[in-house]
Amino acid sequence: MKSTPLFVRISMLLAIAMLVNLSACRKKEDTDTDTNASKNESIAERYFNELQDLSDQAAKTGDLSTFKLSSNEGMLLSNCAVITFDTLGNVSASNPDTIIIDFGTSCLCNDNKIRSGKIIISSTGRYRNEGSVITITPENYFVNGNQILGSRIVTNTGNNLLGQPTFSVLVNGTIILANNEGTITWNATRTRTWIQGNNTLIFSDDMYSITGGSSGSKVNGQTWTSIITSPLVHKRICHQIVSGVLQVTPSNKPIRTIDFGQGDCDNTLTVNINGNSYSITF
């Protein structure tokens, strides 16, 4: 009987080993149910969008506490938030205007979240003016025990062809989660388009379309990147993203697809991993 050459047998064994390993990897991917990166990405997106809503409300509201209490207007701020304006006259890059929102040590806001600390808003011009740069910086700022740090820089880049105001957004942020649940570091580049409500003075009818990408990490060593594949829609009446699709890619894991829904203010999103769907409710 003719024997199989040694190099052929070795090649066959290597091929079998590779097939077994590939099968094991596929099985692992098929049973992957880890939604942590998707949840952390969504948490960061929400908290830093919320900073924008609070800042824009402060600029509009001033010290009119009766308006701040009007929750049916979609207002987050309640009358325990003290707003201070530093009016410097001719506002410019070298002479910015400053607004301070001071929540004190404990302020129950209209969304039933308890906030403390301050948010500092520095503006080189009016929000609607092309070229204006608005820098939002939290200072010892907490939401329900979660500390928000970093900055959000918003630049008015003018109107698009439809006459809608557009803004570039840069976020360099950190969230120290309550109850020792870890720390999220998040960097994002966004384009926001004011698609509804830009011709009114009503805050609650505002809607924004958001595109762009981001990267994040958590102290447990998990890292991820993301890209918006279908524009996210941020509805200000409920202070959350209500539709759109975001792809999150954790390190050494398959893509997660986050579907934010069909436009309802329901605090729910769906994460799809390898054809399996998981629901997350905030």
pLDDT in tens, 201-234: 788 889 999 999 999 998 777 899 999 999 999 9
Partners of 215 in the beta sheet?
Answer: 187, 225
pLDDT digits (tens, 9 = 90+) for 121-168: 999 988 889 999 999 999 999 999 999 999 999 999 999 999 999 999
Helix (H) or strand (E) holding 262: strand 256-262
Task: Using the CB atoms, write b or e for 111-134: b if 16+ within 10 Å.
Answer: beeebbbbbbbbbbbebeeeebeb
The residue among 121, 45, 136, 126 whose CA lies nearest residue 86 is 121
Determine the Cα–Cα distance for residues 51 and 119; give it in Å rounded to an integer.
Answer: 8
Helix (H) or strand (E) holding 224: strand 223-235
Amino acid identity, position 273: I
Q: Apex CA 47: angle with CA 273 and CA 77, to 5°?
A: 140
Residue 118: the pLDDT is: 98
Percent of the chain with pLDDT over 90: 60
pLDDT digits (tens, 9 = 90+) for 104-122: 999 999 899 999 999 999 9
What mean pLDDT value characterizes the chain? 85
pLDDT digits (tens, 9 = 90+) for 137-147: 999 999 999 99
The domain limits of the chain are 34-219
Residue 82: the pLDDT is: 92
Residue 69: the pLDDT is: 58
Instruction: Enter the pTM of the model.
Output: 0.84
Residue 73: the pLDDT is: 66
Phi, psi dihedral angles at 78 (to 5 degrees) = -110, 180
Q: And the tokens for 220?
A: 């447990």
The residue among 65, 60, 42 whose CA lies nearest residue 186 is 42
pLDDT digits (tens, 9 = 90+) for 6-62: 444 445 544 444 444 544 444 444 446 888 899 999 999 999 999 999 998 888 765
DSSP-derived 3-state class of residue 21: helix
On the question of pLDDT at 256 being above 90, the answer is yes
**Chain-centre distance of CA 51, in angstroms?**
10
Residue 68: the pLDDT is: 60
Residue 36's CB: how many other CB atoms inside 10 A? Answer: 14
Helix-then-strand count for the chain, H and E? 3, 14
Determine the Cα–Cα distance for residues 175 and 61; give it in Å rounded to an integer.
Answer: 27
Helix (H) or strand (E) holding 30: helix 6-30
